A and B are shown apart, each in its own frame.
Chain A
Amino acid sequence: MFDDFFIRALVAGIGVAFVTGPLGCFVIWRRLSYFGDTLAHSALLGVTLAFTMEFNIALSVFLISSLIALSLIQLQKRTNLPGDALLGLLAHSSLAVGLVVIGFLTFIRFDIMGLLFGDILAVTVDDLLIIWIGGALILLILKLIWKPLFASTVNYELAEAEGLNPDRAKAIFTILMAAIIAISIKMVGLLLITGMLIIPAAMARNISTSPQKMVIYSIIGGLLSVILGLFSSLEFNTSSGPSIIAAALLLFIISLLNIKQSIKLKN
C-alpha cells in the first residue's frame, strides 16, 4: 500500500495535519508566528549537519531547532534587545550558516528546492514512521501540558498564582515546536512550515466560538489542505509544500465569509 509515493505523501501529510492543528492554535494564541519561522530557518542548518555527519535528518533538525529555541530564551533573559530582533538574528544567522555549510558540501548533490518547498517524492516509509510515532508523542505531551499551557496563554499570573507551573509548560511547548518542524520539513519545506501551523488555525479562529472548537476546526482545515494540496500538486505537477499552503489559504478565504455574516447578524 505504501509502495505508491502519492499514498505515502498523503499518509505523511495527514499525520502532520493532526499535529499542526492544535500546535498552530497555540502559535496564534501565544503570538509565536515568527518564533515558528525562526525555528524553521534554523532547520536548514540541521539538515546540512545531518548530511555532513550522515545523521538522521529529523533528529538533527530537532536538535538544532531545540538548541536555537533555548538560545533564544537565554538571549531574551540576558540582553536588552527586543524579541523580534532576537528572532531575526537567530533566523537569518542560522540560515546563513546553513547555506555556507552547503557550499562546502560539494560532494553531495543537494535538492535545495525540495528542502525549501517540500518534496513528496522524497517521503519514505521511514519518514512515515517518524511522522506518525513522533506526531502521536507530540499530541500526547501536548494533552498532558494542556491545562497549564492554556491557562498561562490566557493569563500567566493566574496560572502561576494557582500553582500550574507555566514556565515548565512553556519550555515543553518550545520543544514540541522544534519537534513538529523536524518531522514535517520533508512535506512542506522549511520556508512554508509556519504557514501550515498558522493558516489552518487562523481559518479556524474565524469560525469558532471556543478554544476546543478552534482546535478541531484547525485539524480539519489542515487535513483538507493536505488532501486538496497534494491532489492538485499531482494534477498540476507543482511542489507539494506551496500547493498545500495555497489550499489552506483558499480555506481561509472561504472562512472569511463567516465573519461577514456574523457582523451582519450583530447589526
Chain B
Amino acid sequence: MSINQNILVKLKNAGFRINNKSLVKGVSLQVEKGKIVTLIGPNGSGKSTTAKIALGIHKKIDGEVEKYTNKIGYVPQKISIDWTLPLRVNDFMVLTESLKNEIIDEALSLTGVIHLKDKNLGDLSGGEFQRVLLARAISKKPELLVLDEPVQGVDFTGEIALYELIKKISDELNCGILLISHDLHTVMSATDHVVCLNGHVCCSGSPIDVAKNNEYKALFGEQASQILTRYEHRHDHIHTDEGEIKKN
C-alpha cells in the first residue's frame, strides 16, 4: 500500500528505450486524486511516452511504475481507427465498459456532441472526434484521466470550454489528471503541478516555479516565461481548502 492514500499512479525514475535509443528517462512523478499534473516539452521530448509508461502500454521499461487504480480513462494523442469497422459514436462510447444510456448522453452533452450520437465515427471532423474521445474517457467516471493533447483540432472557443470542463471534472469526480498540452496559457492556469520534459525531466514544480526555472526559459524562450508571469499578475487572490477566496 502507498503511504499516501491519494496517489493514483507513481513513476519512479522511469524510462523507455526502443532499440537502445532512449525516448525518455529518469522520470519521477505522481498523480494524486483531484490534482492535475501537466507534462510540457517540445516535440519528441517524451511526453506521450511518459503517459504510456504511466498507463502500462509500454511494458519493458526502466525504473518503476506503481498504479493504484484500474479505473482509467485515456485520450490518446493519435488514434488510428480502421474504417472497415462500422462504428457509430454510440458504439465507441461503450468500447471498454458498458454504460447506461443516460450516462452516455450526459457525457456527450458535456463535450457538446450529443447530436452526433448516431453518426458514423468515420464521418466526424477532427474536432468533433476529439470531443467524442474526451466524452468517452470521462463517461466511465474514472479515477485517473490521462489526456494526451485532448483539445487538438478543436476550435478556439471550444478549446477554452473543454479545458474548463476538464478542470470541472477533476473537481467533481475528484479524479487525478495527467495532462499533456502545448497551450502554456491553459496549462499554467489549471495545473497543480508541471513537469517539463526534454528526454528527461528538465524541471518540475508549481507552474510559477517552473516558469522561473532557467532550463524552462532555455527550452521555451523568454516569452513563454512571460506568459506565466503575466498570468501570475492576474492572481490577486487564493483559494483555501475550504473553498474560500482570500486576497493575497
User: Which residues of A pack against B, CB within 8 Å?
Assistant: 28-29, 31, 147, 150-151, 153-155, 157-164, 205, 208-214
- A-B residue pairs in contact (CB < 8 Å), sample of 29: A28-B84, A29-B82, A29-B84, A147-B96, A151-B95, A151-B96, A153-B85, A154-B85, A154-B92, A155-B76, A157-B52, A157-B55, A157-B79, A158-B76, A158-B79, A159-B95, A159-B96, A160-B55, A161-B57, A161-B72, A161-B74, A162-B74, A162-B96, A162-B97, A163-B72, A163-B96, A205-B86, A208-B86, A209-B120
Chain A residues near B74 (CB, 8 Å)? 157-158, 161-162
When the two chains form their complex, are residues A164 and B96 in contact, meaning their CB atoms are under 8 A apart? yes
When the two chains form their complex, are residues A157 and B91 in contact, meaning their CB atoms are under 8 A apart? no
Chain A residues near B73 (CB, 8 Å)? 162
Complex-state Cα separation, A159 to B87, whole angstroms: 16
Contacts A153-B85, A155-B76 given; does A163 touch B120 at CB 8 Å: no
Complex-state Cα separation, A211 to B86, whole angstroms: 6
User: Which residues of B pack against A, CB within 8 Å?
Assistant: 52, 55-57, 70, 72-74, 76, 79-82, 84-88, 90-92, 95-98, 120, 140, 146
Chain B residues near A213 (CB, 8 Å)? 86
When the two chains form their complex, are residues A160 and B56 in contact, meaning their CB atoms are under 8 A apart? yes
**Residue in contact with B85 in the complex, picked from A29, A158, A160, CB distance below 8 Å:** A29
Chain A residues near B70 (CB, 8 Å)? 163
Smallest Cβ-Cβ distance to B55: which chain A residue = A161
A82 to chain B, nearest CB (A): 18
Smallest Cβ-Cβ distance to A162: which chain B residue = B96
Smallest Cβ-Cβ distance to B90: which chain A residue = A210
Complex-state Cα separation, A250 to B161, whole angstroms: 52
